[in-house]
């Protein structure tokens, strides 16, 4: 079976292919201000940075919330009032629970995954 | 600026480097505009509007460019989707060969050549999928796999479009071929 990265054979004797390929010799279209029009149409820089920051904040909030729920041992609806009442004391237990090797490994894995996914955004805040 | 496309794209994503994006636009504007002119049967105004939207959309989604494919193929994929969405939404993009006479033809390699004019007219009589596959593989120089990625179709489908398109061209341009 022919691989998908094959380009049409430039040595082909097929005249139709030769006619079609003749178009590749055409000079590039002159820019004629096109690039400038595109740059003018781009969104303002602040929007892009704000969107990136918001995405990062949402993701980190979700990760923290997930870690808290996991630290509390999971929540069932009928247990929710009692759990909320004990929330303060549970918070104090979090460092102890997280001190286990499995928790530390899970947190490190999560942090590494987030750092990889957002490496470009984090690069904004790191010195080159 | 001699940096490769992936490096320029990373600069745009990391530090919103507008000069780097401008360089990417300058490098690829010709291929994208030519492709869209082919899709719109030479309507240069509409093609340039779609090309501008393509680059703006590429700028917004540049963080999703992971460098697995060539940047030019990634851009052509956005251009194709943008053209298809615009056609679906507005039904304003001319598709039928009947529009050809009223529109400016795409510049050929040898302006004034009768063969190139006949070829352009014959291409206009093909199905849009056949015409697009031929343009990507023979005029943009993409591989079958790259063209399939741009069009969002299986490689086998693209090969079928190519074979059918060439067969129709062979028939339509029989008078230019001494072997027939």
**Residue A54: closest CA among A126, A128, A121:** A121
Examine the pLDDT at A23 and tell me if it is beyond 70: no
pLDDT at B41 over 60: yes
Half-sphere exposure of residue A50: CA atoms within 13 angstroms, side-chain side: 5
Average pLDDT over residues B95-124: 58
Cβ-contact B142, B150 below 8 angstroms: yes
Question: Is the separation of the CB atoms in B69 and B146 below 8 Å?
Answer: yes
H or E element, residue A113: helix A101-117
- How far apart are the C-alpha atoms of B94 and B171, rounded to whole Å? 25
Structure-block tokens of residue A118: 């957002």
Q: Where are the domains of chain B?
A: 1-106, 108-180
Which of A105-109, B60-64, B105-109 shows the lowest per-residue confidence on average (mean pLDDT)?
B105-109
- Say whether A6 and B166 touch across the interface (CB within 8 A): no
Buried b (16+ CB within 10 A) or exposed e, B20-44: bbbbbbbbbbbbbbbbbbbbbbbbb
> A70: pLDDT confidence band, cut at 50, 70 and 90?
low
Q: Give me the CATH topology for the region B1-106.
A: Rna Polymerase Sigma Factor; Chain: A (1.10.1740)
pLDDT recorded at residue A34: 93
Of A20, A34, A37, the CB nearest to B139: A20
Nearest CA in chain A to B167: A16
d(CA B156, CA B138): 17
In the structure encoding, which two tokens stand for residue A97, read together?
A: 């629970």
- List, as ranges, residues 137-176 from B with C-beta within 8 Å of A: 137-146, 148, 155, 159, 162, 166, 169-170, 173, 176
ipTM of the complex: 0.74
- Furthest C-alpha separation in chain B: 59
Cα gap B46→A64, rounded to integer Å: 48
Give contacts of B48 with chain A, Cβ < 8 Å.
34
Q: Do A19 and B109 touch (CB under 8 A)?
A: no
Confidence of residue B63 (pLDDT cuts 50, 70, 90): confident
Q: What is the C-alpha to C-alpha distance for residues A13 and A4, in angstroms, rounded to an integer?
A: 21
Question: DSSP class of residue B105?
Answer: P
Q: Give the number of other Cβ atoms within 10 Å of residue B63's Cβ.
A: 17
pTM: 0.62
Terminus-to-terminus CA distance in chain B, angstroms? 50
Pick the CATH number of B108-180 from 3.10.180.10, 1.10.520.10, 1.10.600.10, 1.10.10.10: 1.10.10.10
Q: Do domains B1-106 and B108-180 have the same CATH topology?
A: no
Higher-confidence residue of B104 and B68: namely: B68
Supply the angle between the helices A87-98 and A101-117 in degrees, to the nearest 10.
90
Average predicted confidence (pLDDT) for chain A: 76
More confident residue, B103 or A31: A31
């Amino acid at each position: 079976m022919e691989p998908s990265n094959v380009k049409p054979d430039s040595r082909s004797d097929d005249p139709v292919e030769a006619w079609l390929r003749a178009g590749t010799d055409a000079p590039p279209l002159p820019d004629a201000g096109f690039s400038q029009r595109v740059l003018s149409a781009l969104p303002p820089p602040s929007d892009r940075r704000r969107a990136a920051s918001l995405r990062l904040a949402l993701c980190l909030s979700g990760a923290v919330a997930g870690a808290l729920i996991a630290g509390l041992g999971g929540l069932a609806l009928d247990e929710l009032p009692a759990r909320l009442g004990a929330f303060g004391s549970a918070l104090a237990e979090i460092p102890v629970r997280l001190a286990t090797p499995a928790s530390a490994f899970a947190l490190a894995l999560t942090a590494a995954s987030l750092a990889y996914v957002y490496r470009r955004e984090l690069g904004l805040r790191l010195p080159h | 600026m001699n940096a490769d496309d992936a490096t320029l794209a990373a600069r745009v994503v990391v530090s919103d480097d507008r000069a780097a994006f401008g360089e990417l636009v300058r490098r690829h504007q010709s291929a994208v505009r030519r492709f869209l002119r082919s899709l719109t049967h030479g309507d240069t105004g509409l093609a340039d509007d779609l090309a501008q939207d393509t680059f703006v959309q590429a700028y917004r989604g540049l963080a999703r460019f992971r460098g697995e494919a060539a940047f030019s193929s990634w851009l052509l994929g956005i251009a194709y989707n943008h053209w298809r969405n615009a056609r679906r939404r507005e039904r304003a993009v001319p598709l039928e060969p009947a529009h050809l006479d009223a529109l400016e033809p795409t510049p050929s390699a040898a302006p004034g050549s009768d063969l190139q004019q006949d070829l352009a007219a014959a291409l206009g009589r093909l199905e849009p999928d056949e015409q697009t596959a031929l343009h990507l593989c023979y005029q943009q120089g993409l591989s079958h796999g790259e063209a399939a990625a741009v069009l969002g179709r299986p490689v086998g489908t693209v090969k079928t479009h190519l074979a059918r398109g060439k067969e129709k061209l062979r028939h339509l341009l029989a008078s230019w071929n001494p072997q027939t």
